[in-house]
Every structure is written in structure tokens, then in C-alpha cells.
Structure 1
């Protein structure tokens, strides 16, 4: 698949997400997780019965001011997506958190994830009025390097916070992008 025709679209309300898009989000999430991706479900394999409610919860929470879905497509086929959220509590309303950054496994290394990350930075700054973004990444998966190339910096770790299997403890890596 040529990614030269990459299109990025954001969704800010539940009504904007069609049943077809919901199914594509679900399929991508299952694919990424079952390939070992750190996308919110630590113990593959997963299926639609497990991931479906998570997709529905994410979509139901979409709101222009506090939660947006950014989708990457090629030829009208979903190839990646992420969610950016902010807490409306005034004390922390100036920063947002990225969730579920993922791309189709067979299309990694083609700039889709980087394009999503660059665009979400613009949306967070210019449309949501955020000053910084945060994320937590699973250590040992090379994610620190990916995010680091895009300007993110590590600000801390929770050593061994994630137990994927007996004897497979991973750090949770805390990263920040500031200023936007």
C-alpha cells in the first residue's frame, strides 16, 4: 500500500464516527494488540468481545474540548489512529494525554505514526489550546526512540511497573512534549 495518499481526519463527537469507522478502529486495535503492540490491552490475544466495549467507550467520550480521535487513512482504509484527551479540571486543563497510538502492523516504518504525532501536536496546540502533551509508553518496545525523534523527552520511569508475564516486567516510560 502506497502511503503517498495519506489522509488525516479528526473526529470530535460520537455522532461523527460511523459504524464502519468504529469497526475499522476495532479491527486495528485487535491487530496491533495481538501482534504484541502496547495499545491498552496487555495480554493478547484479544477479540471483538474484549476490545469492542473499549472502542465504544472511547467514541462515546469524544468531545471537541476534551477528547478527539485522529485517524490516518489511505484510500479510505484506516491505517492508524490515536486519541488525545484533556482533563477539564482547571489545575491541569493546560495539558493533554495521548492514548492508543497505533498503526497497522504491516505498514509500520512508512511515516504513518509520525504523521499522526505531528498532526495531533497541531490540534492540541491550535484547536484545543493545550500547552503540553504527555504519554506513558511501555519500556522495551523501542517506543522511547520513536517518540524521541519527534521531540518528546523522557521525564521519568516507573521501573517494573508493567508485568506482561512472569519474569517479563517492563518499565512504564513517562514522556512529555512541551512546548507545543
Structure 2
């Protein structure tokens, strides 16, 4: 995929999301999860009835200073998205967290995840005035290597913190990107 055909759209209020975009975000989340993606639903398969309330909770909280959605579109279709959040509590308001980082399975390996992560870094630094970003990744699927190539550092693990199934416990990998 040529990066010139990739559009990265930033959403900062619920009013920026029409019904078509909402459905496309839900469909992406369902497809990513059902393909084994670690994007917030640990027990596939899921359907739109499960993803919709979780997405709506994110959309309701969209606000320029505390919660943004970055959406990757290729030829007008949603091919990935992520959520940047900041807690407004003064003690920790200088950093944010990334949630639900995902690219659609049909476009993996084409640089969309890299482009989303680069834009998230830029938005966090230049528009949200954050100093660093945190994320938690599921162990056992190589995500720490993907993020590591983008400058993220592993700062710790919670061993066997995630139980995906009986006998399938995974580490939760804590990562930081600093400075932005």
C-alpha cells in the first residue's frame, strides 16, 4: 500500500463519528479480534453486539485533551485504529496510554501499524503536550518486537497476568515511549 493512499484521521469529539464510520470501526475491531488480534477482547469470536458498547464508551469520552481516536483509512475504508488517552489527574497528566492498537488482517505488513504509531507519537507530543506514552501488550505474539522497532522500551512484565484459556497464561508486557 502506498502511503499516499493512506489517510490518518484524528477524531476528538463524538460528533465527528457518523453511523457509517462507527460501523466500520466496529467491523474492524471484530475482524482483528476474530483473527487473534490482541486489541481488547481476549476471547474470540466476538460480534458487533459485543464490540459496539465498548466502542461507544470510547467515542463518548472523545475530547481533545484527554481522549483521541486515530483512524487509518485506505481508499476510504477503515483499515486500522488506536485510542490515545490521558488521565487529567495532575500527578500523571504528563503521560498518556495507547489502547486498542489494531490493523485489519487483510492489510497487515503494509506499514499501516507503523504509520498509526508514528502519528500517535506526533499527536501525543505536538497536540496533547504529552511527554511519554505507555502501553500494555499481550505476550506470546511478538508485539514487543513490533513496538521495539518503533522505539518503545519494555519496562516490565506481569508474568502470567492474562489467562486466555486454561493452560494458556500470557505475560502482560509494559512498554514506554519516552521521550516523545
Partner residue in 2 for 1:62: 62
Map residues 4-43 of structure 1 onto 2, 5 A cutoff.
Answer: 4-43=4-43
Give the Å deviation of 1:172.
0.1
Supply the distance in 2 between the matched residues of 1:57 and 1:40 (Cα, whole angstroms): 13
1:116 is aligned to 2:100: no
> Which runs of at least 4 in structure 1 moved beyond 2 Å after TM superposition?
1-4
- 2:161 pairs with 1:149: no
The answer to whether the Cα contact below 8 Å between 1:39 and 1:101 also exists between their aligned partners in 2 is yes
Aligned pair count?
A: 180
Q: Please name the residue that 1:71 is paired with.
A: 71
Task: Name structure 2 gaps, 5 residues minimum.
Answer: none
Counterpart contact for 1:31–1:104, Cα < 8 Å: yes
Equivalence for 1:159: 159
Name the structure 2 match of 1:85. 85
How well do the aligned residues superpose, as a CA RMSD in angstroms?
Answer: 0.9
Shift of 1:113: 0.2
* TM-score, length of structure 1 as denominator length: 0.98
* TM-score normalised by the chain length of structure 2: 0.98
CA shift at 1:3, angstroms?
5.3
